[in-house]
């Protein structure tokens, strides 16, 4: 007797739509239970493989979720299994307990909750994964800020910007997340870290970090920033003022120029901007007083840089300070030249005071500068002329004539200093020649009655004088000396004469 078949025959069995629907619904659970009811094991295994593949892709749960292609492929498999199960269940018997409609259909619908509840649980797990990922990103940004806190701002700038990008993204796109609700506090810590130089009263170092913080509202929404949006303003204004005043007149004058100018341009109504005019004027006054010290020329250079800063100040502030700055520069230029003379640096004194007289020709100090420049030039050849500054005022009393004739072809400039200081120029003598020796010149110079020697007369108070003769090279042999210095004493009641000439090998005498 042959063994019974493994399952009931399907040929000749009448179709039953309710059974087909039941099997299809069971397969919609994604677990292949319809195939299990039909005892179609290979198809059931195929469904289990599909479920296993989906779980392999979905677990562990990632913030990005399951790839859309994997979900679409699983849906296709489930729908295909439902349709195929319904086709097979139309004529294939199922276990007896599934033949009862009151039990089978509710069970089938109940099993549909399996994939639905799985999707809900997965979505919840994915949401938690997103929260954890955001918290991790927030923590990484916090670490960047903490590590950059003690670094120079230029070196730390890239770390700060990277951290700020994270705060902006989480605070803007994920504001309702646990990490998003922490962003305002993190931003406050960020601001304090960036502005650390300000808290340490290093105002020059604080300028760039605070300027950076003023740009943050361009990256982070103002609603997220709240009061932090305007937090840097007063601090930056103070930093610009303190740093600008600290650097005023220093070698970094371009920077100080910009510090104070930026303050006046950006926060013109701030209390710090209103302090600039008074503070700079007081600084000019103080440094002008320092011209009488030992660093006269350094102070003069400083005042020149202060003036350049004042020229760069906008609005009425610069205009109000310009007169004070220009007067200070004038005093500094003159004082520096005098200081160089007193320190026996005669070449420098001559250059500076000559330039002063040219630049400030209408200054009441211009004539005095010319006198000291003359004395400095004489002292370059005759140091005795630099033992003291030229007299400020000519002495009263009689003056003695000193007539000087020129027995040389080139013109002669005569510089003199003593009780009075000055210079004159005597024209050249066209008919005059170079004497072969000094002895011959002493006998013949300025004594030829047939020649008309150019001459000039100086009227000098009694006293000791230092004189420098400078002959134009056009009237000399190029290899000869063209300058000659000597000293003389003028006594009251005498008349003096002098003669300049050129001797071969000795030059002007």
Question: What's the residue count for the chain?
Answer: 509
The arithmetic mean of pLDDT across residues 403-409, rounded, is 91
- With a pLDDT cut of 90, the percent of the chain lying above it is 49
* 93 vs 144, more confident: 144
Among 73, 99, 125, the domain boundary falls at 99
Residue 117 maps to a domain: no
- pLDDT at site 480: 46
Among 99, 114, 142, the domain boundary falls at 99
What torsion, rounded to 10 degrees, do the Cα atoms 225, 227, 232, 237 define?
A: 150
Instruction: Name the range with the highest mean pLDDT among 107-121, 172-186, 378-392, 475-489.
Output: 378-392
CB atoms under 10 Å from CB of 54, counted, come to: 21
- Is the Cα torsion angle 381, 387, 390, 391 positive or negative in sign? negative
pLDDT category, 431, cuts 50, 70, 90? Answer: confident
Which residues in 445-467 are b (16+ Cβ under 10 Å) and which e? bbeeeeeebbbeebebbbbebbb
Could you read off the pLDDT of 307-364 as tens digits, one per residue? 999 999 998 999 999 999 999 999 999 999 999 999 999 999 999 999 999 999 999 9
Beta bridge partners of 485: 468
What's the structural domain count of the chain?
2
Instruction: Answer whether residue 98 shows pLDDT above 60.
Output: no
φ and ψ at residue 79, rounded to 5 degrees: -65, -40
Residue 249 maps to a domain: no
Residue 350 maps to a domain: no
The CATH number of the domain where 441 resides is what?
2.60.40
pLDDT category, 223, cuts 50, 70, 90? Answer: confident
pLDDT category, 97, cuts 50, 70, 90? Answer: very low
Among 99, 116, 150, the domain boundary falls at 99
The arithmetic mean of pLDDT across residues 147-159, rounded, is 89
Residue 446 maps to a domain: yes
What torsion, rounded to 10 degrees, do the Cα atoms 300, 302, 304, 306 define?
A: -140
pLDDT category, 243, cuts 50, 70, 90? Answer: very high
pLDDT category, 476, cuts 50, 70, 90? Answer: very low
Q: Which of 155-164, 253-262, 280-289, 465-474 has the weakest average pLDDT?
A: 253-262
Q: DSSP states of 298-338 as a string?
A: HHHHHHHHHHHHHHT--HHHHHHHHHHHHHHHHHHHHHHHH
Residue 435 maps to a domain: yes
- pLDDT at site 36: 56
Residue 493 maps to a domain: yes
- pLDDT at site 13: 52
CB-CB contact of 208 with 262 (8 Å): no
Domain residues for 471? 398-508
pLDDT category, 479, cuts 50, 70, 90? Answer: very low
Q: For helices 178-194 and 203-214, give the axis angle rounded to 10 degrees.
A: 150
Residue 115 maps to a domain: no
């Amino acid at each position: 007797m042959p063994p019974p078949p493994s399952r009931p025959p399907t040929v000749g069995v009448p179709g039953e739509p309710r059974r087909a629907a039941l099997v299809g619904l069971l397969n919609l659970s994604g677990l292949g239970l319809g195939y299990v009811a039909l005892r179609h094991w290979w198809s059931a295994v195929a469904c289990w493989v599909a479920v296993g593949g989906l779980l392999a892709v979905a677990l562990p749960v990632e913030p990005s979720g399951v790839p859309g292609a994997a979900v679409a492929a699983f849906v296709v498999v489930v729908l295909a299994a439902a349709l195929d199960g319904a086709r097979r269940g139309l004529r294939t018997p199922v276990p007896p307990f599934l033949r009862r409609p009151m039990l089978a259909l509710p069970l089938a619908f109940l099993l549909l909750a399996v994939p639905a509840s799985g999707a809900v649980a997965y979505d919840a797990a994915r949401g938690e994964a997103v929260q954890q990922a955001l918290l991790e990103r927030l923590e990484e940004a916090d670490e960047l800020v903490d590590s950059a806190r003690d670094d120079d701002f230029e070196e730390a700038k890239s770390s700060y910007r990277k951290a700020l990008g994270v705060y902006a993204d989480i605070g803007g796109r994920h504001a309702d997340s646990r990490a998003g609700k922490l962003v305002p506090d993190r931003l406050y810590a960020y601001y304090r870290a960036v502005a650390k130089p300000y808290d340490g009263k290093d105002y020059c170092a604080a300028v760039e970090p605070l300027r950076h913080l003023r740009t943050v509202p361009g990256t982070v929404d103002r609603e997220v920033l709240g009061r932090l949006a305007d937090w840097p303003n007063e601090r930056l204004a103070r930093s610009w003022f303190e740093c600008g005043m600290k650097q005023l007149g220093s070698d970094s004058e371009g920077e100080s120029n910009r510090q104070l100018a930026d303050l006046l341009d950006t926060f013109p109504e701030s209390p710090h901007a209103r302090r600039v005019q008074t503070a700079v004027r007081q600084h000019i006054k103080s440094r002008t007083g320092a011209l009488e010290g030992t660093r006269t020329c350094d102070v003069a250079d400083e005042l020149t840089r202060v003036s350049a800063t004042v020229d760069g100040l906008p609005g009425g502030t610069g205009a109000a300070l310009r007169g004070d700055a220009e007067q200070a520069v004038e005093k500094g230029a003159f004082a520096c030249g005098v200081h160089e003379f007193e320190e026996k640096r005669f070449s420098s004194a001559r250059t500076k005071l000559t330039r002063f007289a040219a630049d400030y020709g209408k200054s009441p100090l211009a004539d005095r500068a010319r006198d000291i420049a003359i004395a400095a030039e004489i002292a370059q050849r005759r140091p005795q002329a630099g033992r003291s500054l030229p007299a400020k005022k000519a002495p009263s009393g009689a003056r003695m004539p000193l007539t000087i004739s020129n027995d040389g072809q080139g013109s002669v400039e005569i510089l003199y200093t003593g009780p009075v200081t000055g210079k004159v120029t005597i024209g050249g003598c066209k008919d005059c020649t170079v004497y072969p020796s000094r002895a011959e010149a002493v006998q013949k110079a300025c004594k030829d009655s047939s020649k008309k020697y150019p001459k000039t007369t100086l009227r000098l108070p009694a006293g000791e004088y230092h004189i420098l003769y400078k002959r134009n090279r056009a009237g000399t042999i190029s290899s000869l000396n063209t300058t000659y210095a000597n000293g003389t004493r003028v006594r009251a009641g005498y008349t003096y004469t002098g003669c300049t000439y050129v001797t071969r090998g000795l030059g002007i005498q």
